[in-house]
Amino acid sequence: MATLNPTVTAQLSRGIGRLTNLTFSHGTGTTIHTTCGRSLLDFTTGIGVLNTGHSHPRVVAAAKAQLDRIVHAQVNIGYHEKMLELTEVLAPSLPGGLDTLFYSTTGAEAVENAVKVARCYTGKHAVVVFRGGYHGRTFGTMAMTTSSRIYRQKFGPLLPGIHVTPFPYEYHGITTQMALDELEQLFKDTLHEEDVAAFLIEPVLGEGGYVPAPPDFLQKIRQFAHSKKALLICDEVQTGFGRTGSLFASSSPYYGDVRPDILTMAKGIASGFPLSAVAMRREISEACEPGMLGGTYAGNALSCSAAVETQHVLREERLVENSEKMGVRLRDNLGAIQNSAFTKGLIGDIRGLGLMVGMEFAPDAVSGIKNKFCQEAVKEGLLVLGCSTFEVVRFVPPLNVTEEEVDAACEKVEAALKKIL
């Protein structure tokens, strides 16, 4: 099908926002192909899902082999081989202190289960989240998401007991100390520690603008949470599995050994197959009675088979190390563009960890410029997405992206910018 059928597209909900009207047919590595014959460099990777690239042959082969054995073995009925194998592979690589896993299907489902477990363990209900965070679109996670009002508008009233405090965003003047002061004030005028079950934070804001927390911030939040007898939940749905140049951001050299009490993961875990997980300390997990957790598709066998091979590929092909190396190259290239005369000072900030990179336009750039840029980039043969309530473009290539592909993408960035600046 080379062209869109308007009768068919009219039957799809208008509630879905789309970057393009392209129809994709297949993908290989960093390249995605359309039904009309175009090939584009994909620096979105399904919003940080395809860490091993499109259709990695080893992951595809593992999934095909699993199709011949069993596709769905429901978690509340019994165990299945691939879930047990995945657990053997994942458990040794988890941040320190995390030794128990629960599998689910989506990132939002993982976050909701993390909050359920935190409430169960602490006997408390309130959750502190950080401004700009994105945690999902379900009814519970929607209340915890503040990266954009579009995710929650007209859906209220939302889940109660969610309290928002600033995330350090130094480009917009919010320092670590300011954020910590606001958090202290929240507990003076609004919250009591006897009510707070958990603090939920992304080590790097995702939808909120690809903003890494300052190196010492996560450690200070952990200390503060524990001083209030609350748990720290790190949402690594997007940052996990090498995206930031470390397998998990919360145990990276950048942040040190944060040791969250609970960690959520999804996206890059299975190279595009729907799977998520919650990792926690055993004593926290033991608070839940059998039957309190579950889900029809939780830990699906086909997804687990893809996840097992994904972990092997990440390690054996050294994709985590490549993420760090190519991330430096990407940021350096974008920095050179930022400093070029033709940008007229309108690119304000280049930031990120590993291959989770944000480019923010300066405040005096025209409103809506990130969307204009993304559309021009598509014309140049590059897929990138905007994010944040500010004018931010994110770059999320596969972790096996090459130097040549990074350089080619940046050439397309420069060409697109020259058309709009």
Residue 2's pLDDT is: 59
Q: At residue 14, does pLDDT exceed 70?
A: yes
363-406 pLDDT, tens digit per residue, is 999 999 999 999 999 999 999 999 999 999 999 999 999 999 99
Average pLDDT rounded to a whole number, residues 273-279: 98
Average pLDDT rounded to a whole number, residues 5-11: 91
240-257 pLDDT, tens digit per residue, is 999 999 999 999 999 998
More confident residue, 5 or 372: 372
Mean pLDDT, all residues of the chain = 97
In the chain, % of residues over pLDDT 90: 98
Residue 4's pLDDT is: 84
Q: How confident is the model at residue 93 (pLDDT cuts 50, 70, 90)?
A: very high
285-331 pLDDT, tens digit per residue, is 999 999 999 999 999 999 999 999 999 999 999 999 999 999 999 99
Q: At residue 268, does pLDDT exceed 60?
A: yes
Average pLDDT rounded to a whole number, residues 6-19: 93
35-82 pLDDT, tens digit per residue, is 999 999 999 999 999 999 999 999 999 999 999 999 999 999 999 999
Average pLDDT rounded to a whole number, residues 77-91: 97
Residue 115's pLDDT is: 98
Q: At residue 1, does pLDDT exceed 70?
A: no
Q: At residue 337, does pLDDT exceed 80?
A: yes
Residue 352's pLDDT is: 98
Three-state SS string across the chain, please? CCCCCHHHHCCCCCCCCCCCCCCEEEEEECEEEECCCCEEEECCHHHHCCCCCECCHHHHHHHHHHHCCCCCCCCCCCCCHHHHHHHHHHHHHCCCCCCEEEEECCHHHHHHHHHHHHHHHHCCCEEEEECCCCCCCCHHHHHHCCCCHHHCCCCCCCCCCEEEECCCEHHHCECHHHHHHHHHHHHHHCCCCCCEEEEEECCEECCCCCEECCCCHHHHHHHHHHHCCCEEEEECCCCCCCCCCCCCHHHCCCCCCCCCCEEEECHHHCCCCCCEEEEECHHHHCCCCCCCCCCCCCCCHHHHHHHHHHHHHHHHCCHHHHHHHHHHHHHHHHHHHHCCHHHCCCEEEEEEECCEEEEEECCCCCCCHHHHHHHHHHHHCEECEEECCCCEEEECCCCCCCHHHHHHHHHHHHHHHHHHC
Average pLDDT rounded to a whole number, residues 165-169: 98
